[in-house]
């Protein structure tokens, strides 16, 4: 080995023990000395006298794309780069090294000191994460009009096909089971089973920490479970003959469990903590896809249901406009023309009666299935016949409020501005059970609407809506100081569970809200 004068280095032994490759090069890039790590990485032979890039197998210079040795010589400062070595007879995958080069000079000599760190695992992890995110984005790679043109079964099949494809190609998983959590019962309903024995696929499981296997435990605790040896794990329930290890992760949407993903292998300890991380990331993408495709509701529709929905959607907002016009005229004539006021009150009453009739006829023509009836009766009975006022200038939000709340028996009316909302409240013979308003209205804020309503109501059962956390003028903070319930915040676009939960909460908290009418 050449005798090299390295200032600040006590001995070659120290360099040999460093867990990095170290090489000293002549300005011509010829290796004049290399430590043991360097030689072990690149052929387990002494590389002295070889060209640096030749010894490495002519790697590709990646970021920043400039040869670090030339940059070091020209700029006389530390130069860094990432090198990629293609697979060869000893490695099946490419390898990556982070290179750092620095010139060391004295009056008689000049050398380049190069250190290399093997970052293959880090780069491959990053590439796999990027591929998983890309795959997750493609799970529902459809335009909105394409999604809405598909029925529930078609959407389910699309998602199942994509999940099956990406888990096999990216995660190298051949045995997978996905179950969705039925919130009303706690049942874990099978969505996808690949490689699972039929008896196991048909097994009834609940979200429970006991007597429901690993899947039930994960759904109940919202925590992943890595089973390295199925034969010694008392919680494991056999998925197929010969299964030796498994990995189960929760499917989380807004931190709430909506299902589970379970993968199995005939090998012992087949899954690592990295596999767990990858599967958890993929599970979140699956959750977003489920939400996008509206599989969580999964209501089977027929021609009668679609017709009733279409009629209801067509008349809801026009009837709201009729109510607003009547209220505007009535406020104008109050105190001046009692006869006109009386007629306008009659118009308001008849318009509201029409809304109720359409809703009642639709429910009688298309009764909900037993499961939906059970859920409605058991969980959302308080919503039936409750009067809800929704205030937002966005027509799509008002439409969504009608579509979602009226499905559960609410009587929804809408306004587009704060002044319209005040007029609706002031002129209504029956009080609203809940008032939902955007924090930013065309005329003033949702907080200011709350203050105006407090002047004419003993109790204001109000919730504020916001999109993407946007809160101009800190309306939410001010409203909470003025009495807004701390949980009475909704985020657009609506999530059904949150909308129903906040509405029911305000009904329960409203002292003026009597029994169902």
Are residue 360 and residue 256 in the same domain, yes or no? no
CATH of the domain at 142: 3.30.450.40
Per-residue confidence (pLDDT) for residue 408, from 0 to 100: 83
Is 159 part of a structural domain of the chain? yes
Is 328 part of a structural domain of the chain? no
When pLDDT is averaged across residues 263-275 and rounded to a whole number, the result is 90
Integer Cα distance of 282 and 128 in angstroms: 11
Tokens of 361: 């006829």
Q: pLDDT by residue (tens digit) across 297-325?
A: 443 344 445 555 666 667 778 888 888 88
- Asked if residue 317 lies in contact with residue 398, where contact means CB atoms within 8 angstroms, the answer is yes
Is 346 part of a structural domain of the chain? no
Residue 479 burial by CB count (10 A; 0-12/13-18/19+): exposed, middle or buried? buried
| CA 247, 248, 252, 256 torsion-angle sign | negative
Per-residue confidence (pLDDT) for residue 334, from 0 to 100: 78
Are residue 454 and residue 483 in the same domain, yes or no? yes
Q: pLDDT by residue (tens digit) across 345-391?
A: 888 888 787 777 766 665 555 544 433 443 444 457 788 889 999 99
Q: How far is CA 333 from CA 329, 337, 342, 344, 456, in A?
A: 6, 5, 10, 10, 20
pLDDT bracket for residue 337 (50, 70, 90)? confident
Are residue 259 and residue 403 in the same domain, yes or no? no
When pLDDT is averaged across residues 228-232 and rounded to a whole number, the result is 94
What pTM value is reported for the model?
0.44
Higher pLDDT, 505 or 107: 505
Q: How far is CA 257 from CA 182, 221, 223, 487, in A?
A: 10, 9, 10, 20
Average pLDDT of the residues of the chain: 81
Per-residue confidence (pLDDT) for residue 354, from 0 to 100: 76
Q: pLDDT by residue (tens digit) across 469-496?
A: 556 567 788 899 999 998 999 988 778 8
Per-residue confidence (pLDDT) for residue 140, from 0 to 100: 59
CATH of the domain at 87: 3.30.450.20
Count other Cβ atoms within 10 Å, centred on residue 309: 16
Percent of the chain, pLDDT > 70? Answer: 79
Are residue 84 and residue 161 in the same domain, yes or no? no
Domains contained in the chain, number: 3
Are residue 31 and residue 133 in the same domain, yes or no? no
**pLDDT at residue 250 is higher than 80:** yes
Strands 245-253 and 109-118: unpaired
Is 69 part of a structural domain of the chain? yes
Is 267 part of a structural domain of the chain? yes
- Name the residue range of residue 260's domain: 124-292
When pLDDT is averaged across residues 238-247 and rounded to a whole number, the result is 93
């Amino acid at each position: 080995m050449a005798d090299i004068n390295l200032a600040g280095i006590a001995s070659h032994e120290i360099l040999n023990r460093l867990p990095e490759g170290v090489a000293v090069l002549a300005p011509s890039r010829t290796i004049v000395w290399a430590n043991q790590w360097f030689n072990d990485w690149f052929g387990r032979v002494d590389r002295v006298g070889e060209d640096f890039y030749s010894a490495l197998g002519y790697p590709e210079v990646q970021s920043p794309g400039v040869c670090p040795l030339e940059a070091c010589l020209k700029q006389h400062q530390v130069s860094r780069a990432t090198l990629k070595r293609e697979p060869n007879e000893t490695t099946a995958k490419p390898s990556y090294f982070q290179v750092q080069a620095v010139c060391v000079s004295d009056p008689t000599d000049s050398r380049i000191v190069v250190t290399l760190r093997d970052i293959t695992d880090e780069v491959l992890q990053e590439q796999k994460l990027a591929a998983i995110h890309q795959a997750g984005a493609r799970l529902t790679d459809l335009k909105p009009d394409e999604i809405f043109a598909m029925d529930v079964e078609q959407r389910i099949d699309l998602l199942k096909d994509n999940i099956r494809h990406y888990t096999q190609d990216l995660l190298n998983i051949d045995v997978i089971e996905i179950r969705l959590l039925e919130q009303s019962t706690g049942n874990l309903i099978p969505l996808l089973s690949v490689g699972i024995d039929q008896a196991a696929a048909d097994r009834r499981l609940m979200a429970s920490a006991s007597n429901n296997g690993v899947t039930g435990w994960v759904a109940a605790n919202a925590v992943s479970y890595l089973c390295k040896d199925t034969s010694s794990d008392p919680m494991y329930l056999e998925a197929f003959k010969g299964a030796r290890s498994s990995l189960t992760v929760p499917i989380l949407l807004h931190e709430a469990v909506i299902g589970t993903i379970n993968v199995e292998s005939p090998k012992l300890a087949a899954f690592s903590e990295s596999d767990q991380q990858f599967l958890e990331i993929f599970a979140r993408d699956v959750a977003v896809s489920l939400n996008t495709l509206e599989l969580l509701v999964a209501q089977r529709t027929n021609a009668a249901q679609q017709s009733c929905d279409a009629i209801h959607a067509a008349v809801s907002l026009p009837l709201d406009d009729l109510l607003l016009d009547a209220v505007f005229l009535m406020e104008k004539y109050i105190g001046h023309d009692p006869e006109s006021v009386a007629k306008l009150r009659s118009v308001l009453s008849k318009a509201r009666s029409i809304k109720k009739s359409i809703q009642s006829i639709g429910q009688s023509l298309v009764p909900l299935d037993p499961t939906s009836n059970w859920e409605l009766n058991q969980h959302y009975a308080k919503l039936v016949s409750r009067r809800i006022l929704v205030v937002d200038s966005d027509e799509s939000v008002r439409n969504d409020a009608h579509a979602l709340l009226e499905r559960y028996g609410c009587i929804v009316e809408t306004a587009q501005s704060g002044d319209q909302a005040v007029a609706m409240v002031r002129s209504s013979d029956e009080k609203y059970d809940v008032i939902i308003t955007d924090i930013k209205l065309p005329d003033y804020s949702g907080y200011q609407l709350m203050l105006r309503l407090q002047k004419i109501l003993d109790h204001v059962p109000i919730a504020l809506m916001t999109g993407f956390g946007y809160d101009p003028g800190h309306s939410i903070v001010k409203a909470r100081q003025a009495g807004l319930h701390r949980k009475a915040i909704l985020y657009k676009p609506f999530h059904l569970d949150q909308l129903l939960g906040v509405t029911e909460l305000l009904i329960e908290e409203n002292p003026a809200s009597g029994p169902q009418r």
